[in-house]
Amino acid sequence: MTIRSLSAGDLQAQLLQTDDGVLLHRLADKKSGRIFLKEDGVLFTLTARRLSDGSFLTVNSAAGWERVCVSGEFPAYTVSLFGHRELPGVTVILTAAASETAHSLSWTVTLHSENREYSLYECDYPILTFGACSRTKVFFPYGCGEVYPSMRTFSSRQNYPSYGASMEYMALWHSGAGRGLYYGLHDPAPAYKKLHYEKQEGTLPFLKACMPLRDIDKAANSQALEGVCLWQLFDGDWYDAAMLYKAFFEQHASWKPMMEEGKRKDTPDWLRTNPHWWRKRMKWDESFADEIIEADEKLGLASPVHLYDWFQIPYDTNYPHYFPAKEAFVPGMRRLQEKGIRVMPYINGRLWDTHDKGKEDWQFPAVARPNCTKKRGDQPFLEVYPTSNIELAIMCPSTALWQEKQQEIMETLFHEFGVDAVYIDQIGAAQAYPCEDPSHSHRAGGGSWWVESYRNLLDHVHQILPEGRCLTTECTSDPYMKDIQAYLSWIWIKNDQVPAFMAIYNGYVAVFGRNYLYAGDWIGENIFAAQSLTYGEQMGWILPETYKGLTHGEFYDKCVHTRSALGSFFYDGRLLRSPKIEDKVKLKTTKIKVEAYGGLLEHTATFSEYWERKDG
């Protein structure tokens, strides 16, 4: 066995090279003296699929390789593993570019395969294993970002991009030493990934990212993982890690919106400056307009409304056949618009009902099925939701049919009906699927094609988008923001949240709403309002009937009017490091119906964030 050292300024790593494998042996910070890792950890896992029967095989860096080589010296190091005994003909090469000034290692991973029996299916970027202690914290990019104590048994596996992984980075830091280690996937495209943090009883915690591979229907599918995996030391906490990711985004990311004088060129002022939202499920008459107008007059602000069920089909059925609309939709909308209330109807950007005419087949077999995502064996990927309990097919965003169908729906809504915005559900929330339909324009499996295809779809829509109109979507996956002007943050309702997403992206994309139906009582309602105010979100996304029934409606109103009065600090400002508040008042604790871990939400009585306007 041989110890190989990798030096990158204050970041010191050691690899343990054995006769048939390699392990991460030690990881330390020379400046603080902190040792992140002093036990051996696997460096990667690689999964392959047998072409003959679809069975899976997973190997890792620790053992089983015919030959192992660790070579190089500052600033470039190479780890090569050749011919695993269970996966012959496959070579994995990891390269690490060291930076003395940034105190970082930038990893790339290349896979070479001559194996005719298996297709390479998924591979990890280098895994960061570390030691837990009571003062070591972990950042994970669920929603706005969450911070976990490293000693707690916990696991989160999330697809990027999706509601569970808004951004492609993680981090850990020691709160006493004030030093941390950033784990960032700097992939400008970006490719579909799976982000994973885990701490189990009796084992070391780890951070890792896995990339579903391309050409999974073929043998010998050699390729490189997209982007680089950056391990970088930093001073501070989650906020400083966020600034590292923000620097990558502003310099390299393909999803950076076009800006002009510090503002997005494609965002209308009404959306950019808006402080508050309603939402409403429409029935068959114009009562929805009456309820919104009444609530709006009580609040004293002309707030736009997110309108569901404007179509005659039941919710989550018969998609994407939204027309004809309910007869009361257009006249009710006109009444709202006359009051200065803008209207944003709901559609779904991802699903086609497999029985799309009640319980009957209609267009799905001949039109949609060839254009939906497919598993091995030409089987569609399907999802079932409790809102309808029917099988809905996941449409492939690369297909001309789906791109043109979305454009057609939007053209009717914007040009015939005159809506102010359209909410396209699930684009920013739901995972990519490794589609294997050989007739589609993309390569089978993962890669960057999913995001690129949705961008192309949204570009089709932008071609017909009238002046002053905009698009929004569910949740806050960052790579769609170039073509989406606002994200619905409705499930930012957990313990341990931090506003990392807002620290990075405020000003680049609008963020709005919390789901007040999930609040268990008035404490939950007040926590949602106070946190969305201090985080800088556009507030609300509340039903008029829920608003009328708030226990402390005056507190809610005060939060919303404060958001309105201080609006320029949010839409023309930036979020600074969170202040440290000493609060001796007992924690506010409540039960939350959905999302919160263990159904429990608690917070100090004081909510505070620090905002700076762009004029200083």
Tens-digit pLDDT profile for residues 371-397: 999 999 999 999 999 999 999 999 999
pLDDT at 585 over 90: no
Q: Packing angle between helix 400-411 and helix 449-462, nearest 10 degrees?
A: 30
pLDDT at 460 over 90: yes
For residue 594, name the pLDDT band (cuts at 50, 70, 90).
confident
pLDDT for the residue 361: 86
Q: Mean pLDDT across the stretch 136-162? A: 97
pLDDT at 56 over 90: yes
For residue 276, name the pLDDT band (cuts at 50, 70, 90).
very high
For residue 436, give every residue at least 6 positions away whose Cβ sits within 8 Å of its Cβ, in sequence order, or none. 216, 217, 374, 375, 376, 444, 445
Q: Mean pLDDT across the stretch 395-403? A: 98
pLDDT at 359 over 90: no
Q: Mean pLDDT across the stretch 138-151? A: 97
Could you give the dihedral angle defined by the CA atoms of residues 572, 247, 125 and 495, in that order, rounded to the nearest 10 degrees? -40
pLDDT for the residue 587: 82
480, 189 Cβ separation under 8 angstroms = no
pLDDT at 62 over 90: yes
Q: Mean pLDDT across the stretch 54-58? A: 98
213-263 pLDDT, tens digit each? 999 999 999 999 999 999 999 999 999 999 999 999 999 999 999 999 889
pLDDT for the residue 440: 98
pLDDT at 583 over 90: no
Global pTM reads 0.97
pLDDT for the residue 552: 96
pLDDT at 360 over 90: no
Alpha-carbon gap, residue 208 to 160, rounded angstroms: 12
Q: Is 331 exposed, middle or buried (0-12, 13-18, 19+ CB in 10 A)?
A: exposed
Q: What is the greatest pairwise CA distance in the chain?
A: 78
463, 471 Cβ separation under 8 angstroms = no
Q: Mean pLDDT across the stretch 521-544? A: 97
Strand-pair partners of 438: none
Q: Mean pLDDT across the stretch 597-605? A: 89
Alpha-carbon gap, residue 236 to 112, rounded angstroms: 39
CA–CA distance from 4 to each of 15, 42, 233, 470 (Å)? Answer: 5, 15, 20, 54
Query: Residue 469: which of 411, 529, 389, 540 has the closest Cα?
Result: 411
For residue 95, name the pLDDT band (cuts at 50, 70, 90).
very high
Q: Mean pLDDT across the stretch 446-462? A: 97
pLDDT for the residue 105: 98
313-337 pLDDT, tens digit each? 999 999 999 999 999 999 999 999 9
Q: Is 84 exposed, middle or buried (0-12, 13-18, 19+ CB in 10 A)?
A: buried
pLDDT at 581 over 90: no
**3-state DSSP helix/strand/coil % of the chain, to nearest 5:** 20, 35, 40
Query: What is the overall mean pLDDT for the chain?
Result: 97
